[in-house]
Amino acid sequence: MIAQRRRLLRIGAAGIAVALFAVMVLAPEAFERPLAALTKFGQPAIYDRDSILALTLSHMGIVAAASLAALVIALAIGIFVTRPAGAQYLPLARAVANLGQTFPPIAMLAVAVPLTGFGARPTLVALFAYGLLPIFENTIAGLKGVSPQVVEAARGMGMTGRRILREIELPLALPVIIAGFRVSIIVSIGTATIGSTVGAKGLGEIIIAGLQADNLAYVLQGGVLVAMLAILVDLGLGFLERRARQPRSA
Partner 1 sequence: MITVEALTKTFGPVRAVDGISFELAEGEALALIGPSGCGKSTTLRMINRLIEPSAGRVLIDGVDTTSIPPATLRLRMGYAIQGIGLFPHRTVAQNIATVPRLLGWPRARIAARIEELLELFGLPPAVFARKYPHELSGGQQQRVGVARAMAGKPAVLLMDEPFGALDPITRTRLQDEFLAIRRRMGTTVLIVTHDMDEAFKLADRLAVMEKGRIVQLDTPEALLRHPASAFVESLVGSEDRGLKLLSLAGVTALMQPATGWTAEADGTFRKAGADASLAPLSASASLREAASRLVFAGVDELPVVDEAGAMVGAIAMERIIAFGGGGR
Residues that bind partner 1 (CB under 8 A): 147, 149-160, 163, 168, 171-172, 247, 249-250
CA–CA gap between residue 155 and residue 90 (Å, rounded): 23
**What is the rounded end-to-end Cα distance, in angstroms, of the chain?**
18
Nearer to partner 1 (CB atom), residue 40 or residue 245: 245
Nearer to partner 1 (CB atom), residue 177 or residue 207: 177
CA–CA gap between residue 125 and residue 17 (Å, rounded): 30
DSSP code for 50: S
- Which has the closest alpha carbon to 207: 49, 15, 20? 49
Nearer to partner 1 (CB atom), residue 42 or residue 148: 148
Least Cβ distance, residue 141 to partner 1 (angstroms): 17
Nearer to partner 1 (CB atom), residue 42 or residue 156: 156
Least Cβ distance, residue 170 to partner 1 (angstroms): 10
Maximum distance among all alpha carbons in the chain? 76
Q: In the chain, helix, strand, coil percent, each to 5?
A: 85, 0, 15
CA–CA gap between residue 41 and residue 215 (Å, rounded): 10
- Which has the closest alpha carbon to 222: 185, 250, 184, 195? 195
Least Cβ distance, residue 83 to partner 1 (angstroms): 16
Cβ atoms of 39 and 216 closer than 8 Å:
yes
Nearer to partner 1 (CB atom), residue 42 or residue 247: 247
Least Cβ distance, residue 234 to partner 1 (angstroms): 25
Least Cβ distance, residue 3 to partner 1 (angstroms): 17
Residue at 14: amino acid letter: A
Nearer to partner 1 (CB atom), residue 3 or residue 37: 3
Least Cβ distance, residue 148 to partner 1 (angstroms): 8
The string of DSSP letters for 15-30 reads HHHHHHHHHHHH-GGG
Least Cβ distance, residue 75 to partner 1 (angstroms): 19
| Alpha carbons within 13 A on the beta-carbon side of 65 | 13
Nearer to partner 1 (CB atom), residue 34 or residue 171: 171
